[in-house]
Amino acid sequence: MRAGLFGLLLLWLTPLWAQDAPRVAALSWEAAEHLLMLDVTPVTVADAGDYRTWVVRPTLPDGVPSAGSRLEPNLELLAELQPQLIVIAPQLEDIRPLLERIAPVQLYPGFGQQHDNLQAQREAFLDLARALGREALARRRLQAMDAELVQLRERLQVHFAGQLPAVTVIRFSSPTAAFINGPNSMPQHALTLLGLQPALPLEPSPWGITQVPITTLGHIERGVVLHIEPFAQEAQLFASPLWQAMPFVRGGRFAAMPSTWTYGGVFSLQYLAESISGTLLKLPAESGK
């Protein structure tokens, strides 16, 4: 027992930036994404199985265990893994004193209406990189993403001959309702950086999404609507007279984009921009008119 405590003490006393493989536990998915983009494999991730299903990118190695849920982490497992740093989201602030008995804790910002969600994730990524002594790598990764966004924007400008369509990104919740990604959502940030305006302007919300009846989509007279796959009941909805009467459906301005996580860290911006632009480039150039 004494040797185990001595080993844990050594871990805490050794600066994170001085190690090739720092031991970090990620209790939020955004933190897990950012660690992986810093070439750090977390020792554990909350809801690791669901991360692999929903977030997907960047890839979480199969050997990384789940730390319980994002709302109720497994404290016993965390103690056994002896992390040097635990990264949490705001919803775990209440148990921070318990976590600090295991290792130092760093708070990651959540999505909120009071701040710019994209900027908050960008700053959190750099903060984590500084703690790990990997700021230079972090800035290179951000610069590479920014350069790719410029290239994607230019490709869209060429494809649509300078007349970019207005675009709204949705995710169906049922055959009668949909979530629209609006201001301060990661999809809307991606659209903005691609030079695209929303086809259906909305009021801000904490997570950047608004649930609306399907009939609300009928107000989109012009512009493109992209829906994020999968949607298990699409055959039922898409065959209905109501759906067939939608202006963007009749105009051939509706398409499915690959499943992409919309509540992620800063690099979810890149993945969303790739999915959005890749889908738009398959539409006829006339969609922008």
pLDDT in tens, 68-113: 999 999 999 999 999 999 999 999 999 999 999 999 999 988 888 8
Task: Give a yes or no: residue 122 inside a domain.
Answer: no
The pLDDT value recorded for residue 203 is 86
Q: In angstroms, rounded to a whole number, what is the distance separating the alpha carbons of residues 89 and 230?
A: 27
Q: What is the pLDDT of residues 244-286, one digit of tens each?
A: 999 999 999 999 999 999 999 999 999 999 999 999 999 998 8
Domain boundary (88, 108, 128) is at 108
pLDDT averaged over every residue in the chain = 91
Residues in the chain: 289
Domain boundary (87, 108, 129) is at 108
282 and 148 co-located in one domain: yes
Q: What is the mean pLDDT of residues 231-236?
A: 93
166 and 245 co-located in one domain: yes
255 and 198 co-located in one domain: yes
Q: In which domain, by residue range, is 79 found?
A: 2-108
148 and 271 co-located in one domain: yes
Task: Give a yes or no: residue 119 inside a domain.
Answer: no
Answer whether residue 14 shows pLDDT above 70. no
> What percentage of the chain has pLDDT greater than the value 90?
84
The pLDDT value recorded for residue 15 is 61
Q: What is the pLDDT of residues 186-225, one digit of tens each?
A: 999 999 999 999 999 898 887 889 999 999 999 999 999 9
89 and 197 co-located in one domain: no
83 and 184 co-located in one domain: no
Answer whether residue 11 shows pLDDT above 80. no
77 and 195 co-located in one domain: no
152 and 277 co-located in one domain: yes
Q: What is the mean pLDDT of residues 120-132?
A: 95
Answer whether residue 13 shows pLDDT above 50. no
157 and 279 co-located in one domain: yes
Task: Give a yes or no: residue 126 inside a domain.
Answer: no
Task: Give a yes or no: residue 17 inside a domain.
Answer: yes
The pLDDT value recorded for residue 10 is 42
| Residues in Cβ contact with 193 at an 8 Å cutoff, skipping those fewer than 6 apart | 149, 153, 269, 273
The pLDDT value recorded for residue 3 is 39
182 and 98 co-located in one domain: no
176 and 83 co-located in one domain: no
Task: Give a yes or no: residue 207 inside a domain.
Answer: yes
Provide the domain count of the chain. 2
The pLDDT value recorded for residue 33 is 97
Domain boundary (108, 128, 163) is at 108
C-alpha angle 65-66-67 in degrees, rounded to nearest 5: 115
Q: In angstroms, rounded to a whole number, what is the distance separating the alpha carbons of residues 262 and 5?
A: 41
CB burial of residue 201 (10 Å; 0-12, 13-18, 19+): exposed
212 and 150 co-located in one domain: yes
Answer whether residue 17 shows pLDDT above 90. no
Task: Give a yes or no: residue 127 inside a domain.
Answer: no
Amino acid identity of residue 157, one-letter, is: Q
The pLDDT value recorded for residue 130 is 94
The pLDDT value recorded for residue 166 is 97
The pLDDT value recorded for residue 113 is 83
The CATH number given to whatever domain includes residue 217 is 3.40.50.1980
SS3 221: coil
Task: Give a yes or no: residue 60 inside a domain.
Answer: yes
